[in-house]
Amino acid sequence: MEDWQVPLMRAMAAFVAESSGDVLEIGFGRGVAAELIQQHGVRSHTIVEPHPVSIERHFKPWQARHSGNAIRLIEGRWEDVTNCLGIYDAVLFHAYPLNEEDFIRHIVDSIVYAEHAMPEMASRLRPGGVFTYLSTEVDSLSRRHQRLLFRHFSSITTSILPLAVPPDTADTWWAPSMVTVKAVK
């Protein structure tokens, strides 16, 4: 997570917090999206995070600052803890591959990294629930991407978000924008 991604997290947090309901966040990282979700105010916030360092260094201090809020941590990869998940009003998916096999299967051979998560995430949403994720599309969604979304969701809203990616970025993004996606069940 780099600072140039904060506008993306802000947009995605706004999507999932619109209902002020129960939010599932896949991937905590430094807690940027989680903080933005809490600023909007939600009934409950469930976070799935597999990295012990992220949990110790970022999640625990963050949770202490929000001790009065309904926050639940599920430790592990989302694929391994689906039996611990409930039903939500919104899901923010901000995960990434943890090994070479996942990278090849879910990035190289997929439309978008979130593709493999969409069936499970859609099943975790109430009717009218919102799903958002990093689209990795620069200025529009491909037809394949749109068809993928419509297999699991009834409507989608997209917008182009300008980004200020520094030339010396340590991340893998290269474009001056990314499409934000709000998919509704």
In this structure, what CATH number is given to the domain that contains residue 152?
3.40.50.150
15-24, 88-97, 109-118, 149-158: least confident range:
109-118
Residue/partner pairs of 141-150 with CB below 8 Å, 24 or more apart: 141/179, 141/181, 142/111, 144/111, 145/111, 145/112, 148/111, 148/112, 148/115, 148/118, 149/118, 149/181, 149/183
CA–CA gap between residue 112 and residue 75 (Å, rounded): 24
Find the mean pLDDT for residues 21-43. 96
Mean pLDDT of the chain: 91
Identify the pLDDT of residue 3. Answer: 82
Res 74 pLDDT > 70: yes
State the total domains in the chain: 1
Identify the pLDDT of residue 104. Answer: 59
Identify the pLDDT of residue 4. Answer: 85
Identify the pLDDT of residue 157. Answer: 97
Q: pLDDT band at 161, cuts 50/70/90?
A: very high
Q: Which residues contact 120 (CB under 8 A, 6 or more apart)?
A: 78, 82
Higher local confidence (pLDDT), 112 or 51: 51
Res 72 pLDDT > 90: yes
Higher local confidence (pLDDT), 102 or 31: 31
SS3 for 79? Answer: helix
Identify the pLDDT of residue 96. Answer: 67
Structural domain of 129: 3-184
